[in-house]
Every structure is written in C-alpha cells, then in structure tokens.
Chains A and B, each alone.
Chain A
Amino acid sequence: MDGTLPGTDGTRRDMTVQMLTTKAEQAILKTFEDNAARLPGGKSVAELRRAAIGAFASRGLPSRRVEEFKYTDLKANLREAFPLVTGGAADADTTHGALGSHFGPEFAANAVSVVDGRGTSSGGHTFLADSKAVSMDWVQAALADESLAASADLLLNTALFTDGAVIDVPAGADVADPVVIVASARDNGLAVLRHIIRVGKGAKVTLVEVERAPIAAGLRQSSAVTQISIADGAEVVHIKVVEAHKGSTHLGHWQVRLGANVSYKPFQLTLGEGLVRNGLNVDFTGQHSTLDFGGASVVHGSGHADSTLVVDHKVPHCTSRELYKTVLDGQARAVFQGKVIVQPGAQKTDGKQMAQALMLSPDAEFDSKPELEIYADDVICGHGSTAAEIDPDLVFYCTSRGIPTAIARGMLIESFIAEAIEKVEHDGLRDALIGIARDSLAA
C-alpha cells in the first residue's frame, strides 16, 4: 500500500516517540490540581474527574496523528491554557453582549445565563453546580456516560467542568419559547461547561446555545459539552451559535441519544477567526427517528472551523440528513468530518450527507471526510462533498442583468450559506441567524 494516507503513515509511527508534554497540557494538569477540591459534584463526580484527568495526562491533547483530529491539531494549536474561571463577576451586560443585537429581547428575557463558568441565579434555572441537581440519578447517569471518555477534549471537559445548565423537559410538555443558554466569560479565561438535558416522551422544545463575545473582547478558551437524552416521540430543535475571535478557542461537543419516533433538528453556526471544533455524536436507539442536521460556517483570517459528526444507526427504520456549508476567506480553514455508521440489522436506514465549501480566497483550505461504515444491506446511504470558488458564470449572469459585481457576489455567497440556515423553521431564530451570518460575511 501507499504509506502516507492521511494521518495513517505507517512509516512515521515506527519510532518510539517519547510523549512530550506541551506547555498547554502542563497548564491544564496544574489547573486541575489547583481547582480539584473546589469543583462541584459529590464523591462519585470527583472520582470521574480524577479518572478523566488521568486518562488526559496519558493521552495529552490530540495531535494530527489521532485520526479524529487529523485536520484539527490541538496539540500544535493550543499553545497555552488560560486559568480556569470559576465564577465571580456576574453582570447582565455580558449576557446581552454575547447575545448581540440580532436576537430579540424575548430571547434574553428568559435566558439561562452562565457567566465566568457559573450559572447566574436569576430566572430560577437549575445548574449543575447545585448539589441537589448534580445528585439526581439521571444527571449522575449522564455524567458517567462512558462514551465521553473517547477523546481527550471530552476528558478535559469531564475533569474541569465548573457548571452548566440542567434542563429537564417533562413528558408531554410543549415549550413555546426557545430555551436560550448563553455562555460568556472574561478575557484570558478558560471556561469549561457541561449542560445536561433530558426531554421527556412526546415533549417539544427548542434549545439554543450561544457562545459569543463582544467584538472588542480579548482572548478566551472554552469547552462546552452538552448531553441530551430524547425520549420517544419528542421533537427537539437544537441550535448553537459560536463566534470565536482571533486567538480564541472553543471546543464544543454534543452527545445525543434518540429514542423512537423522535425528530431531532440540530443546527450549528460557526463564525470568526478563532479555532472552533464542534463535535456531534448522535445515537439512534429507537426506530423511526429522524436526524436533520444543518451546519454553516463563515470563517475569516486564520480562522479554523471543524464540524465532526458521528451518526450511529443502531436500529432499523431511521433517517439522517446532514447539510454543511462553509464560506472561507483569508487563510481560513474549514473541516467537515461526517461518519455514518449503519450497524448490523439496522435495515431501511436512510442516510444522506452533503458538505460544500465556497472558497473566496486563494489561500483558503477545505478538508472533508464524509465517511460511511455500513453493515446492513437494505439501506440507502450517500454522501457528497464539493469545494469550489464562486462560479464566474453565475456572477456573469447577474452582472448581465445589471447587478454590480460586488453585489452579485454578495448575493451568491449569502444564498449559498442561507440554504443551510433555512433549515431552521423558527422565524425569529432564523432571522437572527441570517443576520449574524450576514454581519460576518460583511466583515
């Protein structure tokens, strides 16, 4: 075989490499030692944290030799780790700043706000740092989920999370207004959050996570893991907006478990010049459920946006759809890794994936790895991936109709990205997302 398939170079792994701990890894280990006693959770959580930091210490931050991080080398990119923020300056302005102007006041009014790694008490929401919340059986069970030990970025989160929202949507509930979780933190801080959500049978809810900083803000690092368990017949729309400024890093991950007849519609919008990794693992455990994923990113400068999905069809008769669109400028880089697994016996699975990149600058880079792993024969699965610059024919068509070139290009770019955003059905949310994307495109 040819030896240098991506990330799998047999020849270069030969040497026994003495793992060197980077400055960032050392800082993370020290952060744990300094804060372990103060981190929330009882004895069992403390044990989980201890096991997680142990595993993290032996693995280190993932480098490009780790297949899942082949295109997002955290070891090389994370030069230092900021001190962990564990609460302090709670201030309503930061929440508003993070939401920005496009979200209407109705979203801010009832927001679940987490500032500097701690939930703010206003609004009567439940947070993980509350000893009563963390000791609930279903929360404990979620925290002990072994699939979160799979990679070092998740281990880091388990070891260090300081707080997060705990949302329990009772069976049959129809939550009219979107539940908005807004996370913000002071500059030069590391915020680590864990949100745990349970949606009961037949319930309907729209969840929104916002992770943005005001334009003038400085550097931040954040890790946010959301675990959702969705019971039979529930309908969940789950939206995330991440904006990372230059030098900032956000490592996000959603771990989702779907029951039967569930409709789950996640959408993720990533913006800015920072490094963002959005992981999404969806397990189908009940039949006739549907996943309809939309992803969009607008990346500038030296920004890096990574969307990594693992969709595991464990049972028959489920449908999954993924559409990812990215617009790249400057030296920006976008990564799409989508893996669809159809387990033995998961017949009648219908899975489709599409990843498309529009490259506006000659130095942009798009890396795509749409992967299929299929063990059942009566299924329809497909994927597509394209990368290209703006089609000059389309620009010509517009200009021949009297539209100036700059406007024509703008229209084409916006319509490209809007195809993904339009998957969001909630009018107010969709308008807000399009507004945010438009601002970013104009930047």
Chain B
Amino acid sequence: MPAVQETVEQVKKIDVDQYKYGFETDIEMVKAPKGLNEDIVRFISEKKGEPAWMLDWRLDAYRRWRAMTEPTWAKVSYPKIDFEDLYYYAAPKSTEGPKSLDEVDPELLRMYERLGVPLQEQEILAGVKSDKPRVAVDAVLDSVSVVTTFKEELAKAGVIFCSISEALREHPELVKKYLGSVVPQSDNYYAALNSAVFSDGSFVYVPEGVRCPMELSTYFRINERETGQFERTLIIADKGAYVSYLEGCTAPMRDENQLHAAVVELVALDDAEIKYSTVQNWYPGDKNGKGGIYNFVTKRGDCRGRNSKISWTQVETGSAITWKYPSCILRGDNSRGEFYSIAVSNGYQQVDSGTKMIHLGKNTSSRIISKGIAAGFSQNTYRGLVSAHRKATGARNFTACDSLLIGDKCGAHTVPYIEAKNSSAHFEHEATTSKISDDMLFYCQQRGLSEEEAVALVVNGFVRDVLQQLPMEFLAETQKLIGISLEGSVG
C-alpha cells in the first residue's frame, strides 16, 4: 500500500531543505592543530587538566585505533574520511571556567536561545507553580561543555551532573571505575577514536535510592568548521536510583561533511532505571546530498544489577549518515531493556540503525519497537541483534520493526539477527501491520469499527508507543511526527 497523503505531507515538512537550525554563530575559538597524533592526544588531555592515568588511557586507545581499519559492513556509502584533515579540539575562547550564566559569552546564549534550549534556571516562586517543566541542561559546543544548569539543586539531592572534564577533576574515582567498562577502548574503530580524543560530554551519577528530581539534558551543537565532535557521556544509576536523560543535537548547514563520533555508556546497578532519549537533528545535508554530519555513534547500556532497566528512545531525523545501535547488555537477573525508535530519512540521507539486546542474566526481557520512514533518495536500514546466551534462561524478547517508503527512489531494509541459545528463550519478531494481533483487530471490529479503522487505531496506538516514551519536554519537537501514520508499512 502506498503512503497516505497525510504522511507524505508530514514528512515533507521535515525534508532536508527545511532544516531550521542551520545558522552559524561567530564565536572566537581555540583550536588544536589539524590532524591526529600522540601530541594532539596529549594536548587535549593537558587542556582538560586530566590526571596521568587518563592520558595513558587515551594514548592506549589511540595506539589501538592506529592498528584498526575502518569498518565497512554497514549499508551506507561515503567517501573515505581523511582523519588527518580534521580539527580534534575546538573550544569557545571565553569559556575558561564560567562560574555562572552571567559569565557566558552573550553570543553563545543567543545561539542557544535560537535553538530553543532553556539555559536560564527558572526559579520556583513561593506558592506559584511554574507551568514549564524544569530541565537541567549541559550545553556542549564543539569540544567543550559551555554551561551546566541546576547543578546546585541537583547536588542537594546528591546527584552529580556535570561535564565529564569536570567529573575527571572532581570525581576521578567514579570516572575511573566506570569509564570504558561498558564500551571498552578497542570496542570498535570509532569508539577507539573517541576514547583517544573525546573532549567533553556529560557525566551523571545518581546515588543509591535517589530518584533524580528533574530531567537531565545535554544539548550538543557543532559550530566550528572542519572539526569533529567526539563527546563521551557516562551515566551511572546506583542501586535503586532513577534518572531520565535527554539529548538533542544540531549543526550549521555547510557543504563539508563533519564527523560526530560519540560514545555513550550507561550503567544501571540493582533495581536502578535509566531512561535515555535522543532527538537527533544534526544537519542532514542539502537536497542534493551535499554536506551533513556523519553520525557514527556507539551507545550501550549495561544492566549490571538485578531488576535494573535501561530504556532507549530515539527520534532520528538528521545527519547525512547515521550509523548507531543503542544497545543493552542484560547482565543482571530480571533486568529489562527497551528500544523505541522512529527514524525518518529524506533527501540523500543514509540510516543504518537499530539495537542489540544481549540477554545474559536469568529472566531478562527486552522489547524493540522500530519505525523507519524513508523518502526522497534515502536508504533506511534497521539492523538489530537479539541474543540469549546459554545461561540466560527465561529470556523474553518482542521485536516489531516496520518501515514505510515514500516514493520509488528510496530503500527500506531490515536485517535482524535472532540468536536463541537456550530452549527457555522466548523470542518473537514481527514486521507487518497485518501481523499485529488479529485478536485486537477482531475486538475492534466486534465493537463496530471497520477493518481499516481498526487497523488505523492499532497502528496509531503502536506509533504512540514510541512517542509516549519521550519526556514531555521533547514531545513538542517530535509532534510533527505524531501525525505520521504507518498504514502502508512494510516489514
């Protein structure tokens, strides 16, 4: 069935030539010399005032990276990246340790205002409840964190939310314990590169039994030319803790391709829960496929403790090339992993994304809901792995990955890997609207809905499944996607 008109129009609204965040901001920057060698790694480490062990860790990663070759297995194609022709460090000159918002370059604040990122801390007045939800923001521009809001209030609850550079200075023991424990330095080519040169990112530690009092958020912005952005995010939820974290990303419109190779590590201990939401809107390139961000990201969560839970939600509309698989390692018994994704590709965008659910503990469960929408000349691939190891008795998985094509010049592909290595694993994978529970359709029809109405109801309920996972603050940004119906979806 071809896409319905409503969907076509909705997708058009977010077509590549409608990119709203493509402006450039003129800020004085400090840059490291072009290219990559051990001296650059030392330069970055020194700039950050890092301890010696951290420098060794970076150099180790750099040497491993040198010995690796670029992976080519993803269903994406792009000219070879010249890693010697990039700046690996770029920071706004005026951000040498701003104590408060007043010290931040006003040009920077204006930029974030244009992006709609709330950096002003809203005070709650006595008796008057603010109608806006409060979000603590860590704003990362090119290589450094510019400002982190609500730090003091969070500190009262015991939550540490700061840039990772600051965490390295203030809480080295925590960083040392967890950094690289989920994504090791040599995990893959881009993770190794990131480990060597990452310049900033967010660090979150939620102590035992604490429910983080507000949403945490990081806003990533690439501004400078010819730079790569390599941020590293590390989130730890200690026993019984809960945290919800959101990230957003944008970049100026440029003819050149820029590399973004981030690493995100999540650690959930016993009974802890981490909810990680992404609205990825890097510049996707123009309508002829020129320019745009290469988004090569490693995101992985480790459900290390019993009854822990990690949930990934992503809305992907940007980037020339997206290549990422937010994953869950379900190590703790009874742990749970979730992945909800909507990936919309337009123009000449290429998306190869999905997830991995690796069941290691007993009675672990996972759920994957992925909706891909391809339009224009884009290629949209879902690639996912669900595996239950020998000792992961009672593992459960449900996967539904649907895709929709708009126009006959694009492609939608599904590459699921399902590995059940013990008999008590219970895996279900499905990929068509017609396969969505016949019982549900029957129930609706029995109550007087026509078959089409029943399908529409079920399908819309399905999409909402993904959208409802997004925190309220990001819902506005993704509302344009809500109208998209998936009646004409193919597996």
Contact = CB atoms under 8 A, between A and B. Distances in A.
B298 A377 contact: no
B325 A385 contact: no
Interface string A380-399: 11111111110000000000
B1 A372 contact: no
Nearest to B297: A1
B43 interface: no
Nearest to A346: B408
Contacts of B186: 11
Given A372-B413, A380-B490, A385-B429, A5 B325 contact: yes
Interface in B428-460: 428-432, 434-435
A374 B405 CA distance: 9
A29 B337 CA distance: 49
Nearest to B425: A387
Contact of B390 (A352, A357, A363): A363
A10 B428 contact: no
A130 B363 CA distance: 61
Contacts of B425: 359, 387-388
A11 B188 contact: yes
B476 interface: no
A371 B189 contact: no
B187 A4 contact: yes
B167 interface: no
A14 interface: yes
Contact of A382 (B419, B427, B434): B434
Contacts of A375: 408, 410-411
Nearest to B490: A381
A366 interface: yes
A371 to B, nearest CB: 5
Contacts of B120: none
A384 B432 CA distance: 8
B336 interface: no
Interface in A386-414: 386-389
Interface residues of A, number: 52
A386 B435 CA distance: 13
Contacts of A347: 408
Given A11-B68, A362-B422, A387-B418, A380 B432 contact: yes
Contacts of A2: 183, 187-188, 298-300, 324-325, 327, 356
A13 interface: yes
Given A374-B490, A383-B429, A364 B327 contact: no
Nearest to A340: B491
A104 interface: no
Contacts of B324: 1-2
B419 A377 contact: no
Contacts of B209: none
A378 B490 CA distance: 9
Interface stretch (B70-78, B111-119, B200-208): B70-78
Nearest to A385: B429
A270 interface: no
A361 B430 contact: no
Interface string A2-34: 111111111101110000000000000000000
Contacts of B61: none
Contact of B69 (A4, A14, A387): A14
B413 A373 contact: yes
Contact of A1 (B3, B325, B491): B325
A379 interface: yes
Interface centre among B393, B410, B416, B417 (most CB of A within 10 A): B417
Contacts of A15: 67
A369 interface: yes
Contact of B491 (A5, A361, A381, A389): A381
A1 B422 contact: no
Interface string B400-414: 000101111111111
A367 B426 contact: no
5 contacts: A3-B188, A5-B385, A6-B419, A11-B68, A367-B419
Nearest 8 CB-CB pairings of A with B = A3-B188, A10-B71, A382-B432, A359-B423, A8-B73, A377-B405, A387-B420, A382-B491
